[in-house]
């Protein structure tokens, strides 16, 4: 949403709308203990326009007709009514609507908010003033306010000059914190030094210029207070209509280990571990597949083998992660035969147990023009067929390098000549030659992935300058062994060091991080608390602190095959289970709110992320009412729960987000109802065994529904 700013004479900044329901990511409303209702005015208590006009007094600058203000049901936020404001000719230079009351104590709040609908294509300039001790306080000069457009899950902070500027056709919430209020300059001969006394607030004014905004029809609703006197610490998010009687406090319990799209995962190929051991629940499975199984010619594909693997995983209710490769050491080549027939050059090598009687793989010339063209075509076709497929959790970019892992070490152009699992296959001037594609070709391939996938998340092996700004995540395939940077005892070339070098330490907030735990450390590390491999050095090094690696990478999932096929002792198993559970997101609902009136339900709930990463997909969220006989009536919300971030490092503040919904429930009969929320795994439309998304709440039911509270419907509604 673009911001438009209008500069109006500062003395006209008389005032405006106010407040709205609580909900930033950091600022919270303590709805339950407040002595006064968080709602200042929701326009539901007026029975006529005359009553409204008695409450709101008009002031105009030039004794013109001012504005008409009346109750309206055309647009509203939290009930049936809003206040409609329209200009009347001749147009005034400035008007304000003043709402006065006996002095109130607003010290236990962080600011004021309101809902507004600007029914015009043009921006609307206005301000809100608050009265205290016969003085008027509002916004002077440059100030900040936050807007949340209807349908958005989060607030956007904007900087304004003298006046708020509400975009054309905007519908949503506005909030202003108290530290943005200063005494109005027109009251002071020189400078104003009086601070707003929140203990003696006696009213507010909504003001704007009808001349400057002659086409703007305005609707105001849900004026209220938000935040707590502690600045939000320990407070809760709440809608402006929240009261103690319609607030439900929910309870925390750790979320299940096998929540969708997170945790430890095994390889899907072997069936024995699925039946012999069931040590750790899981929701993801991994596999490799050679390109030759899929691509038979330029723009010709046989998807049957890939389909079979994905379907097999989905049959167990899990989602797939996979990587397509050209070269996998000690396995038959993955290069399509039509490329070899066209003269694609290849190189044999002996490292990684490749060579000798079992040596079957070979590295292609990654700069071959036909190969680059084929890869481009394949990536585009893969996106066309599988982008958004609910059977797939994530796709690793693959294709390039040994194992499709985007390296050909030691053939990297820098490794010194010598013995490395046998002699180097190629060398020049005392250095191993470089088998990787040119940087231009690497960039083109990664850009093609970025362009071909809009929904399904793609992960690259290494952070780099050419993928830094793409909508692509990363996977660390030597997790907890070559993860930490030099500042924490590792190396600059380790995974976090690369994140730091490429300035993508915060990319996890939008794109996922995954990976694989170093195979040699997968079992022994769980013998230690905290988990860390401390056995015989591997390549001269021991393992790294597992939870420090998790903390820095914000990893969502890890391949760790050994714990699925080798028994762990009781204490080690418990550490491994907890290590899996702690990956990725964990969504907790501490509070929910419900209000029923005139066959209409308002429902809201706060979501906190107590994990280390967000949930990266916009899955459908349903809300339902369940009667005493277990019959459920469902509705679909417009909620987007993706990208709810965990608390900032070093703070106690959870970045909670408030989700609100309202709907017609007049079809429900009289009685008591549980209100339920369900995040729908899209795989459930194909397989009833699909893992259910579950919140970290005691009220979470096994069937996927979270019970957030109860309502009572009677015939008098």
pLDDT (0 to 100) of residue 194: 78
Of 141 and 422, which is predicted with more confidence?
A: 141
pLDDT (0 to 100) of residue 153: 60
Asked whether residue 405 carries a pLDDT value surpassing 50, the answer given is yes
pLDDT (0 to 100) of residue 229: 32
Asked whether residue 589 carries a pLDDT value surpassing 90, the answer given is yes
- Return the residue matching tokens 């809760």: 236
Q: How confident is the model at residue 227 (pLDDT cuts 50, 70, 90)?
A: low
Q: Span 346-375, mean pLDDT?
A: 86
- For residue range 172-214, list pLDDT tens digits in order: 999 898 989 988 877 776 667 778 899 899 899 999 999 888 8
Asked whether residue 455 carries a pLDDT value surpassing 80, the answer given is yes
- For residue range 143-167, list pLDDT tens digits in order: 999 898 887 766 788 999 888 999 9
- For residue range 503-521, list pLDDT tens digits in order: 999 999 999 999 999 999 9
Of 322 and 58, which is predicted with more confidence?
A: 322
Mean pLDDT taken over the chain: 86
170-208 burial, b for 16+ CB within 10 Å, e for fewer? bbbbbbbbbebbbbbeeeeeeebeeebebebbebbbbbb
479-507 burial, b for 16+ CB within 10 Å, e for fewer? bbbbbbbeeeebeeebbbbbbbbbebeeb
108-124 burial, b for 16+ CB within 10 Å, e for fewer? bbbbbbbbbbbbbebbb
- For residue range 30-64, list pLDDT tens digits in order: 222 222 337 889 998 898 999 999 999 998 877 65
pTM, two decimals, is 0.71
Q: How confident is the model at residue 650 (pLDDT cuts 50, 70, 90)?
A: low
Q: How confident is the model at residue 86 (pLDDT cuts 50, 70, 90)?
A: very high
Sequence-ordered strand ranges (E) for 572-692: 587-588, 591-597, 600-609, 621-626, 632-636, 657-664, 671-679
- For residue range 240-286, list pLDDT tens digits in order: 777 778 889 999 999 999 999 999 999 998 655 555 557 899 999 99
Of 101 and 513, which is predicted with more confidence?
A: 513
What percent of the chain is predicted at pLDDT more than 90?
62
**Dihedral, CA of residue 260, residue 262, residue 265 and residue 271, to nearest 10:** 0
Asked whether residue 19 carries a pLDDT value surpassing 60, the answer given is no
* Residue 417 to residue 419: CA distance in whole angstroms: 7
Query: In this predicted structure, which of 62-71, 107-116, 119-128, 669-678 has the lowest mean pLDDT?
Result: 62-71
pLDDT (0 to 100) of residue 450: 96
Q: How confident is the model at residue 1 (pLDDT cuts 50, 70, 90)?
A: very low
Asked whether residue 425 carries a pLDDT value surpassing 70, the answer given is yes
pLDDT (0 to 100) of residue 14: 30
Contacts 24+ apart (CB under 8 A), 84-90: 84/217, 84/218, 84/219, 85/206, 85/217, 85/218, 85/219, 85/220, 86/217, 86/218, 87/210, 87/213, 87/214, 87/216, 88/64, 88/210, 89/65, 90/64, 90/65
pLDDT (0 to 100) of residue 515: 96
Q: How confident is the model at residue 424 (pLDDT cuts 50, 70, 90)?
A: confident
pLDDT (0 to 100) of residue 358: 62
CB-based contacts of 47: which residues, under 8 Å, 6+ apart?
Answer: none
pLDDT (0 to 100) of residue 359: 65
pLDDT (0 to 100) of residue 7: 28
Query: Which ranges of 179-245 would DSSP assign to H, the alpha helix?
Result: none
* Residue 653 to residue 469: CA distance in whole angstroms: 29
pLDDT (0 to 100) of residue 230: 31
């Amino acid at each position: 949403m673009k911001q438009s700013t209008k500069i109006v004479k500062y003395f006209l900044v008389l005032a405006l709308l106010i407040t709205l329901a609580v909900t930033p990511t950091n600022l919270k409303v303590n709805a339950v203990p407040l002595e006064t209702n968080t709602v200042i005015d929701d326009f539901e208590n007026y029975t006529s326009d005359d009553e409204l006009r008695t409450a709101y007094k008009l002031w105009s600058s030039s004794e013109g007709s001012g504005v008409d203000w009346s109750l309206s049901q055309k647009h509203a936020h939290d009930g049936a009514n809003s206040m409609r404001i329209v200009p009347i000719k001749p147009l005034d230079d400035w008007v304000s609507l003043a709402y006065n009351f006996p002095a109130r104590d607003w010290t236990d709040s962080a600011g004021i908010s309101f809902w507004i609908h600007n029914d015009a294509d043009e921006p609307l300039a206005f301000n809100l003033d608050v009265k205290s001790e016969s003085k008027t306080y509002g916004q002077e000069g440059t100030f900040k306010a936050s807007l949340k457009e209807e349908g958005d899950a989060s607030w956007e902070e904007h900087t304004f000059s003298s006046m708020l500027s509400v975009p054309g056709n905007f519908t949503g919430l506005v909030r202003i914190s108290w530290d943005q209020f200063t005494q109005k300059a027109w009251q002071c001969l020189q400078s104003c030094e009086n601070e707003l006394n929140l203990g003696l607030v006696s009213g507010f004014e909504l003001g704007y210029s009808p001349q400057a905004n002659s086409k703007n029809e305005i609707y105001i609703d849900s004026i209220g207070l938000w935040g707590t006197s502690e600045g939000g610490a320990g407070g809760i998010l709440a809608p402006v209509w929240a009261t103690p009687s319609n607030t439900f406090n929910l309870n925390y319990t750790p979320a299940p280990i096998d929540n969708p799209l997170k945790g430890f995962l095994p390889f899907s190929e072997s069936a024995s571990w699925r039946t012999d051991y069931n040590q750790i629940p899981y929701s993801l499975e991994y596999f490799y597949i050679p390109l030759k199984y899929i691509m038979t010619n330029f723009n010709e594909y046989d998807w049957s083998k890939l389909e079979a693997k994905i379907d097999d995983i989905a049959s167990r209710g899990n989602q797939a992660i996979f990587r397509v490769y050209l070269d996998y050491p000690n396995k038959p080549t993955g290069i399509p035969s039509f490329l070899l027939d066209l003269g694609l050059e290849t190189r044999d090598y002996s490292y990684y147990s490749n060579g000798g009687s079992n040596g079957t793989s070979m590295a292609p010339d990654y700069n071959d023009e036909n190969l680059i063209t084929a890869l481009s075509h394949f990536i585009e076709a893969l996106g066309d067929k599988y982008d958004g497929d609910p059977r797939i959790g994530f796709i690793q970019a693959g294709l390039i390098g040994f194992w499709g892992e985007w390296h050909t070490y030691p053939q990297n152009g820098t490794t010194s000549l010598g013995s490395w699992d046998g002699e180097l296959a190629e060398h020049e001037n005392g250095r191993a030659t470089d088998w990787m594609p040119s940087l231009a070709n690497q960039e083109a391939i990664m850009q093609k992935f970025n362009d071909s996938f809009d929904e399904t998340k793609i992960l690259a092996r290494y952070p780099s300058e050419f993928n830094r700004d793409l909508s692509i995540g990363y996977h660390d395939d030597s997790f907890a062994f070559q993860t930490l940077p030099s500042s924490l005892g590792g190396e600059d070339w380790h995974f976090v060091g690369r994140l730091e070098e490429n300035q993508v330490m915060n990319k996890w907030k939008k794109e996922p991080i995954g990976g694989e735990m170093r195979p040699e450390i997968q079992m022994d590390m769980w013998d230690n608390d905290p988990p860390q491999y401390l056995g015989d050095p591997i390549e001269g090094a021991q393992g790294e602190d597992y939870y420090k690696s998790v903390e820095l990478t914000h990893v969502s999932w890890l391949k760790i095959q050994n714990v699925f096929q080798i028994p762990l002792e009781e204490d080690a198993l418990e550490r491994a289970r907890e290590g899996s559970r702690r990956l990725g997101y964990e969504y907790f609902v501490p509070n929910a709110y419900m209000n029923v009136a005139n066959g209409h339900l308002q429902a809201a709930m706060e979501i906190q992320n107590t994990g280390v990463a967000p949930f990266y997909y916009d899955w459908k969220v349903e809300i339902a009412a369940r009667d005493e006989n277990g019959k459920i009536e469902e509705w679909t919300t417009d909620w987007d729960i993706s990208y709810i971030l965990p608390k900032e490092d070093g703070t106690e503040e959870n970045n909670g987000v408030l989700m609100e919904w309202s709907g017609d429930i007049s079809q429900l009969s009289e009685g008591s109802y549980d209100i339920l929320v369900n995040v729908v795994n899209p795989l459930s439309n194909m397989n009833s065994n699909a893992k259910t998304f579950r919140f970290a709440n005691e009220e979470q039911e096994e069937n996927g529904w979270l019970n957030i509270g109860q309502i009572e419907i009677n015939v008098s509604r």
